[in-house]
Chains A and B, each alone.
Chain A
């Protein structure tokens, strides 16, 4: 894995930001270490997520409804936590240890999951896990950003997201592998999940470099402190506007899958495979699309990613859906994530002063997450008013218009100027 990252310099560009560039070896190490931490943590969280509904209904005896309703409530909490942790990581310039606290909280939550048995205690554990995720994401992305020369940033995030997604794909496989070997071995799945979480936290704590946003001055003078006004930075604002606006036209994957199910392109049995398929497409495309973003401009790829999303919606609403349409939808969704998820973090980290990097990333991710929640709600209305196909086609049309507008404005927004 390590070797594949250190491929030949693609465009042989000399480093332009002399002082900012770390030695490539070190950059690779931060990205790969954090990628492995994410891989281990995702195996841990996705193995539990995959069996949780089954565990709650078949073993604990709860109606899944009880869990599902509570689960939704914590989404907003996670967004607030994300901003606070971004601010704290910048304030202290210790992103590694803030991220460590987030990963640690999620690992501790797994210990309690082994003993939790009621709806309330289990949803508390799930909430702790989500808060942990809210804490760790932005500091981790800011470490990747700080450790990587600007011209390789897209690829670095691609590599990280690929490793992350491999973990997400392995988790359910491991969980169900255990259940096949040990009938009803849910406690073994929880124990294995805890083990992966602890190893992930240990890897971060012991072996990840203490990557700071600002190089510490030799004389020990304190670096510039973070200011809230950094977030009002005129360069970050267009990104927040662009990403938030496009995210308002992004409906949850769940809706797209349900629309496919509604069209009858496949048996309900295959429903869970749609999530797996999207993950596979994402992990295959993360690195190539990240590299493409480095070459042609990240904002351009971000906007184009939404064009791919519009195509996915069209594909999902083709009448008499076939396997081809289903596979096409899944592949296009994966491509959309590859073109946006890491790319937003990569862009945001470069548009604010170094001292506000984590907050900038957190702000962009929060805006996107909140906009997507709002849009999913709005899409629900459309679904009931127009039916799944017409609703998806309408959103695809709006998305196409938004992409065209964004594309013509890209030059003026100047988002990609940092790259050149």
Chain B
């Protein structure tokens, strides 16, 4: 080919690619706009009134004008009408007295934020996060909040991966800082590995909690203590624990295809006996920190295949071989809130 010919071929190719890409972008723009102007297809409460009784709080993921907003349904009627707040969150965890919300503001400089929300869903405090939101939990008494974000960066010849998990007192109180700095005891030995990462906190009370520690390509379930600043292993091969309402068991993710592929399933550990129940046949590919619906049932989010951005919340009885059921459609990041009986 002559040079002139090559230049022509190149120019034709560039204009062809530019046209196709621009057409695709425009098409996506139109369909996203159309979807975002639509009302939700699930039933809504007539007035935007928060539900005050037992409820499930979650992120609504329907592709409509309420996409990404925190919503709630009555615990007794999960498929019933949902009540929307006007707070957008990527991850949300709620208590009776408020909620923790992690959110990314995409922009030329994307900002990541942890927000403390009051009982009326107003933002009371914000804290900057060093990376992409991953997990958040509120302690049972509402006085502690844990946030996990994913610190990432790229530049020439360096790949960074790290989680940053912090615990803070609500209402602007003290912070215990990054849990990586807590003393780490694995298998009864004090260790100081370099490559440790901590994520996925679940609280027992305002002092003790459980979380995941990874080091050397392995993961551990640890019990943490805010006052002693320690993390002590209670199990191996598990991520993102969640403590049952009666405080006796931990539910967590297990990597059932270690090595190249990663495929998660769920398991439950009895903290007194150390007995571990695999729920392997049911949910495959679960990548969420589960929540307990009650002492016998787990809740978790699962992305909907073929519909990017949409996910559903499923429920699963805690026994091996159980089948999951669709619990709340178009939802993610569920928390069950049971207000204390008025005294």
Contact = CB atoms under 8 A, between A and B. Distances in A.
Contacts of B305: 117
B6 A176 contact: no
A64 B152 contact: yes
A413 interface: no
Interface stretch (B70-78, B189-197, B242-250, B322-330): B189-197
A334 B5 CA distance: 40
**Which of B90, B108, B111, B301 gathers the greatest number of chain A CB atoms within 10 Å?**
B108
Nearest to A266: B128
Interface string B149-164: 0111111111111110
Interface in A230-289: 252-254, 257-258, 261, 267-276, 278-279, 282
A228 interface: no
B129 A275 contact: no
A261 B130 contact: yes
Contact of B150 (A53, A61, A183, A376): A53
Q: How large is the interface on B (under 10, 10 to 19, 20 to 34, 35 or more residues)?
A: 35 or more
Interface stretch (A12-20, A201-209, A211-219, A355-363): A201-209
A254 B163 CA distance: 13
Contacts of A70: 260, 262
Interface in A47-79: 49, 53-54, 57-66, 68-72, 75
A54 B106 contact: yes
Contacts of B10: 202-203, 206-207
B133 A188 contact: no
B13 interface: yes
B288 interface: yes
Contacts of B109: 269-270, 272-273, 276
Contacts of A272: 109-110, 153
B308 A187 contact: yes
Contacts of B20: 195
B107 interface: yes
A65 B155 contact: no
B332 interface: yes
A178 B25 contact: yes
A192 to B, nearest CB: 6
B34 interface: no
A68 B153 contact: no
B160 A254 contact: yes
Nearest to A186: B308
A151 to B, nearest CB: 26
Contacts of B336: none
Q: How large is the interface on A (under 10, 10 to 19, 20 to 34, 35 or more residues)?
A: 35 or more
B104 A58 contact: yes
A372 B158 contact: yes
Interface string B1-45: 000001101100110011011001100110010001000000000
Contacts of B67: 184
A173 interface: yes
Contacts of B308: 59-60, 117, 186-187
A65 B197 contact: yes
B14 A202 contact: yes
A118 interface: yes
A65 B153 contact: no
A269 B287 contact: no
A219 to B, nearest CB: 26
Contact of B158 (A58, A254, A261): A254
Contacts of B154: 46, 49, 275
A57 B107 contact: no
Nearest to B217: A69
Contact of B303 (A61, A123, A184, A185): A61
A72 B159 contact: yes
B95 to A, nearest CB: 23
Contacts of B90: 57-58
B260 to A, nearest CB: 7
B131 interface: yes
Given A176-B106, A275-B153, A68 B309 contact: no
Interface string B289-333: 000000000000111010011010000000000000000000010
Given A68-B150, A372-B158, A53 B288 contact: no
A384 interface: yes
B32 A182 contact: yes
Contact of B309 (A59, A252, A368): A59
B161 A187 contact: no
A416 interface: no
Contacts of B332: 61
Contact of A252 (B13, B133, B160): B160
Contacts of B108: 173, 176-177, 180
A185 B36 CA distance: 12
B21 A195 contact: yes
Contacts of A124: 260
Closest 4 CB pairs of A and B: A254-B160, A380-B194, A68-B161, A61-B303
Interface of A: 46, 49, 53-54, 57-66, 68-72, 75, 117-120, 123-124, 173, 176-188, 191-192, 195, 198-199, 202-203, 206-207, 252-254, 257-258, 261, 267-276, 278-279, 282, 337, 341, 368-369, 372, 376-377, 380-381, 383-385
Given A57-B132, A183-B36, A206-B7, 13 more contacts: A61-B288, A64-B131, A65-B163, A66-B287, A119-B287, A176-B106, A178-B25, A182-B25, A188-B24, A191-B25, A199-B17, A253-B155, A254-B162
Interface of B: 6-7, 9-10, 13-14, 17-18, 20-21, 24-25, 28-29, 32, 36, 67, 90, 104, 106-113, 128-135, 150-163, 192, 194-195, 197, 199, 214, 217, 239-240, 257, 260-263, 285, 287-288, 301-303, 305, 308-309, 311, 332
9 contacts: A61-B311, A65-B163, A70-B262, A124-B260, A182-B32, A254-B155, A272-B110, A275-B155, A276-B109
